[in-house]
Amino acid sequence: MRILRGALLLGGLALLACGLVGLLTDPYVTGPLGVLLWAAGLVALHDGLWLPLVCALGAATTGRPVLRGWLVVAAAVGAVAVPAVLRAGDDHGNPTLLPLPYLRHWLLFLAVTAAAAALAALVRRSVRKARPRGR
């Protein structure tokens, strides 16, 4: 275990240094500060805005696991789909880029998964009513 940890630590530090030195010396990356600012900005948005929102939503939906699950799925697919929705139509004159009706697909996805989640929640509730847990 000690040898493995040591090897991981040294190897990791070497790769880390390699990446940082590469970023600082690459002739095409003329403004490494910009990279740092964008990375820091992403962390600040994620940890300072997004996660507090997730925690608040989580607290507001305590005891409703199906709703929570649907929110998780909708958020994950949204992270991938919303950039395409925002970007749809901006194809630089290339009709093979972003060819789908992304907004319609996104609303369709939300509607279908919400309906499925509502159904699952109903089934869950009726099953729990029919078989109350012994306490």
Partner 1 sequence: MDRDPSPARRRFDPPLPAPPAALRRGPFRPGAFRSPAHGPRTAVVLGRWLGAALLLCFATGLISHLLQDPPGWLAPHLPPRPVNGYRTTQGLHVIAGLAAVPLAGAKLWTVYPRLFEWPPARGVLHLLERLSIALLVAAVLLELFTGLLNTLQWYPWPFPFRQTHYWTAWTAVGALLVHLAVKAPVIAAHWRRAGAVPPSVPPPVPPPVPPSVPPSGRRAVLAATAAAVGAVTLTTAGQSVPWLRALDLFAPRRPGTGGLPVNRTAAQAGTTAVPADWRLAVDGPAGYLIGLGGLRGLPQTTADLPIACVEGWSADARWTGVRLSDLLRRAGIPAGSAVRITSLEAEGPYRVTEMPAPYADDPLTLLALDLDGRPLTPDHGFPARIVAPNRPGVLQTKWVARIEAV
Does position 60 bind partner 1 by CB under 8 A? Answer: no
- DSSP letter at 49 equals I
Contact call for residue 28 and partner 1 (CB under 8 A):
yes
* Amino acid at site 45: L
- Between residues 26 and 119, which has the closer beta carbon with respect to partner 1? 26
118 binds partner 1 per the rule CB under 8 A = no
Nearest to 77 by CA among 102, 41, 56, 58: 102
Count residues binding partner 1 (CB under 8 A). Answer: 70
Q: How many CB atoms lie within 10 A of CB 113?
A: 15
Report in angstroms the alpha-carbon separations of 109 from 61, 68, 82, 97, 102: 21, 17, 12, 21, 10
Of 26 and 126, which has the nearer Cβ to partner 1? 26
How much is the CA Rg of the chain, to the nearest whole Å?
Answer: 23
Residue pair 101/94 in contact by the 8 Å Cβ criterion: no
Among 35, 49, 111, 122, binds partner 1 (CB under 8 A): 35
The reply to whether 1 sits near partner 1 by the rule CB under 8 A is yes
- The one among 3, 89, 93, 132 contacting partner 1 by CB under 8 A: 93
If one asks whether residue 79 binds partner 1 (CB under 8 A), the answer comes out as yes
- Cβ partners under 8 Å of residue 50, min gap 6: none
Q: Give contact residues for partner 1 (rule: CB under 8 A).
A: 1, 4-6, 8-9, 11-20, 22-23, 26, 28-32, 34-35, 38-40, 42-43, 46-47, 51, 54-55, 58, 62-63, 65, 68-69, 72-73, 75-77, 79-81, 83-84, 87, 90, 92-100, 102, 105-106, 108-109, 113, 135
